[in-house]
């Protein structure tokens, strides 16, 4: 998060006496939007203005912008960070303001997962299999997919997918990130995606939240929990998996790159994030907490017939 400091003034009476921190934020955003043309296809840069001033009648003294900088490896992530810092400095110079903070709110190394543990987990995925979806489950899934723009909705998966290798770098076009990546560079790690949601949705969208109140989520979570439990039993009872995981980590992963935390000594934990949002909505959320003593299912508590579709 980049924070700029300027000087207030009356926006109509004497704007020439002010130095707008918001101008610096907007110039930084413009700089990044021009820079995009000259970056690799795998980069991802997005931002939101977290503080744009108080009211239009006052030249903003303070303004902040929060950036996500994503790439597929450590070097290119840090290259983006250096670019971003230079763009911020340039924005401060152009607006005659001061760049007072470049606070890292969070970081996430690209993920590198353990092939031996993944192979063991995949065997358990095949053993557990996919949930038995009802006609109602499939009806809802296809309706939601149609709402998302699918011309031929396929519904919920009925076959286990294959265990695939990571994409070669030339085909890796980037995507999401998670600080589980940092864990994966410290100890052998895998992640498991439960079949608890409807596939083919955009992510971070209201459509993705629909399944959470339905049997789809419950069935998928139960299947996923079984796989996790079975894999843990394997790790406790089969020393060869642990030995192979350690060997793979040391010889195939750690030998190729040294893990260096992206967070600096001066970056304090961002425990303030979402504080205002939660203060506003936490009490409102309580009325929707599930009461298993009173209702057999959450849908009954909500008074929703399953499935409800257009």
Domain range 2-102, CATH class: alpha beta
CA 11 from centre of chain: 39
pLDDT of residue 281: 94
Encoded tokens for 82: 């250096």
Instruction: Give the neighbor-by-neighbor strand order of the sheet with 62-70.
Output: 44-51, 62-70, 2-5, 98-102
* R_g over Cα of the chain: 24
Domain map of the chain by residue range? 2-102, 115-260+293-302
Nearest-angstrom CA–CA distance, 46 and 32? 9
CA 170 from centre of chain: 23
With CA atoms as reference, report the closest residue to 190 among 231, 155, 230.
231
Nearest-angstrom CA–CA distance, 136 and 141? 9
With CA atoms as reference, report the closest residue to 50 among 31, 38, 65.
65
Q: If residue 116 lies in a helix (H) or strand (E), which one and from where to where?
A: helix 115-128
Name the 3-class secondary structure at 23: helix
Pick out the chain residues at pLDDT < 70: none
CA-based torsion, 20, 22, 25, 31: positive or negative: negative
Nearest-angstrom CA–CA distance, 268 and 261? 14
* Angle, in degrees to the nearest 10, between helices 239-248 and 215-237: 90
Largest CA distance in the chain: 77
pLDDT of residue 13: 95
Helices (H), 36-73: none
Question: How many residues comprise the chain?
Answer: 310
């Amino acid at each position: 998060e980049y924070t700029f400091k300027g000087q207030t003034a009356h926006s109509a009476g004497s704007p020439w006496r002010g130095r707008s921190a918001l101008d610096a934020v907007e110039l930084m955003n413009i700089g990044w939007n021009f820079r995009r043309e000259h970056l690799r296809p795998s980069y991802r840069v997005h931002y939101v203005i977290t503080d744009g001033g108080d009211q239009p009648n006052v030249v903003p003294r303070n303004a902040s912008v929060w950036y996500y900088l994503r790439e597929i490896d450590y070097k290119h992530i840090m290259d983006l960070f250096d670019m971003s810092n230079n763009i911020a400095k340039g924005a401060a110079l152009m607006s005659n303001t001061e760049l007072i903070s470049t606070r890292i709110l969070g970081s996430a190394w690209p993920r590198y997962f353990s092939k031996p543990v993944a192979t063991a987990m995949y065997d358990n995925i095949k053993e557990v299999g996919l949930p038995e979806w009802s006609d109602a489950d499939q009806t809802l899934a296809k309706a939601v997919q149609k709402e998302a723009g699918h011309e031929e909705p396929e519904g919920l998966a009925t076959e286990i997918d294959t265990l695939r290798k990571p994409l070669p770098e030339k085909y890796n076009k980037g995507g999401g990130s998670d600080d589980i990546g940092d864990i994966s560079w410290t100890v052998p790690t895998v992640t498991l995606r439960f079949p608890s949601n409807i596939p083919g949705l955009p992510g971070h969208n209201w459509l993705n939240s629909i399944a959470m109140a339905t049997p789809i989520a419950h069935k998928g979570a139960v299947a996923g929990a079984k796989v996790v439990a079975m894999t843990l039993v394997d790790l406790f009872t089969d020393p060869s998996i642990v030995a192979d995981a350690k060997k793979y980590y040391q010889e195939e992963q750690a030998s190729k790159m040294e893990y260096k935390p992206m967070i600096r000594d001066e970056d304090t934990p961002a425990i303030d994030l979402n504080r205002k949002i939660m203060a506003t909505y936490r009490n409102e959320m309580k009325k929707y907490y599930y009461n298993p003593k009173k209702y057999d299912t959450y849908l009954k508590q909500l008074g929703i017939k399953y499935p409800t579709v257009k």
